[in-house]
Structures are given as structure tokens and as C-alpha cells.
Structure 1
Amino acid sequence: MRKQLIAEVAGVIAAPVEQVWPVVVDSTPRTELGEHSLAYQGDWWYRGEWSVTTDPEGTRLVHRVYNVAGNYWAVALANRLFIGFGERTRRSFADALKRVGKRLGCATRLA
């Protein structure tokens, strides 16, 4: 599968991976699950991937959005040239990050 990165955002959760990972898995729709990574596909072009890694402050959570349809311009036109897409992705990710932190009772921050 050919993937083209459209957006990437990351954050830090002040808890160890062993605590964070089950919460991420439980709260994120997925079609594929790997060791500390998961992915889901939607629409005809979208693939979202989430991963967790150890960070000096706890856990780094990364969300990447890929175009998997191939033809970038067709996808870009269908998505209004992605105007505002990065900011919407960042806001949505920030909300998800806060929910994970709230569920674990710990601090979070965008990276």
C-alpha cells in the first residue's frame, strides 16, 4: 500500500506506556493493531495511524493521517485542498489527548 503523509501531530502523557496503551486501544476505532500502534481507514482515501513510545515525561502519542488513494490532487480537491485540515486534526488530537489524560488522572501536553 502506498501512503502519503498529510498531517502529523504528537503529544505527551505523564504516564507510562503500559498504562497509556490500553486506554488508546480502548478509545480509538481500528482496523489493524500492532505492538503499540494501531490504524484505521475511512472514506476512500483516509488512513489514520496512532502509536505510543516511551518519552522522558511518560509516553509520546503520535497520530498520523495518510492519503492511501494514490492520486493526491483528487484527494486534495475532494478535501478542499486540505485548507484547515492540519488545524482540525490538531484540535481533534488535543481533545483525544486530554481525554486519555483525564481517564488516567495525569497531565498531558501537545508536543
Structure 2
Amino acid sequence: MRLLFEVTGVVHAPLEDVRARMFADAGESGPHRLVDREQGVIAYWGDWWYFGEDTLHLHPEGALVRHRVYNIARQGNWAPYLANKMFIGYRAKLEASMRERVRRLQS
């Protein structure tokens, strides 16, 4: 498993309030999804290369939300780069998405 991207955001609200909001519509674990409310983890993965993980941590200013994207391809681990156009613009999309998530979690 190779870490490709990591973005974080700080929600200026108590950790337990953020946890309740984050998991309000998270659903349950399934074949391509792990939901662990106690540990503050939501993970989801595809069939061949993608593994995304959201984690929640205590932060001096509230709660830290971390999103990580991993390449889990066992063979042809170079192929996700081609399939995703070398991930050009991907980080910017993740950062924009994190800003929006922080905004929603603070409300």
C-alpha cells in the first residue's frame, strides 16, 4: 500500500460534535467500506487500486480531519497514474473537497 496523497483540515468544534456529524450518514461497513465510529475511521476501496481513508483526531483547536489516498494495486501499480492522467490536478481537487468538508462539519 503506497500513500499517494494526504490532505487535512481543522474543524473548530469539539471532537465529539465533529464525530457525530461525520458519522451521521456514514452508513455501515460493507464489502468495500469500513466504518469504525469508535476509532474515528471511514475507509473505502475499489477493486484494483484505490483505497481512501478518512480519520478524525483531537486537535488543540478542535478536530483534525485527515483524508489519505493509497495505491493498493498488487500488480501494475503504475497503471493508476495512467488511468488518472498522472493525477494532474488531483491534489487541488482533494484540497478543495477538504475545505468544503471542514465548512460542512463546522456548521
* TM-score category of the 2 structures, normalised to the smaller one: 0.7 to 0.9
Identity within the alignment, %: 37
Q: Does the CA-based 8 Å contact 2:49-2:77 persist in structure 1?
A: no
Provide the TM-score with structure 1 as the length reference.
0.80
Once the two structures are superposed, residues 26-48 of structure 1 have per-residue CA deviations (whole angstroms, 9 ceiling, x without a partner) of: 24576112311110113632111
Detail structure 1 runs of 4+ shifted over 6 Å in the superposition: none
What is the distance in 2 between the residues matched to 1:60 and 1:36? 11
Listed as ranges, the gaps of 5+ residues in structure 1 are 103-111
TM-score w.r.t. the length of structure 2 is 0.82
Unaligned runs of 5+ in 2: none
Aligned match of 2:2: 4
Residue 95 of structure 2 is matched in structure 1 by 90
Where 2:24 maps in the other structure, the secondary structure is helix
1:16-72 Cα offsets, whole Å, 9 max, x none, are 211111211224576112311110113632111011111110111101011111333
Specify the SS of the correspondent of 1:81. Answer: helix
Greater share of helix residues, 1 or 2?
1
1:50 aligns with 2:48: no
CA distance in structure 1 between the partners assigned to 2:46 and 2:20 by the alignment: 22
Which stretch shifts more, 67-76 or 51-60? 67-76
Equivalenced residues, count: 100
The structure-2 alpha-carbon separation of the partners of 1:53 and 1:21, relative to structure 1 and needing over 3 Å to count, comes to same
SS in 2 for 1:72: coil
Q: Which one-letter code corresponds to 1:11 in the other structure? A: G
Give the equivalent residue in structure 1 for 2:34.
Answer: 32
Distance 1:92 1:42, change over 3 A: farther
Deviates more, 1:22-31 or 1:69-78: 22-31
What residue is the counterpart of 1:109 in the other structure? none
Distance in 2 between the 1:44 and 1:53 partners?
29
Is 2:26–2:35's contact at 8 Å kept on the other side of the alignment? no
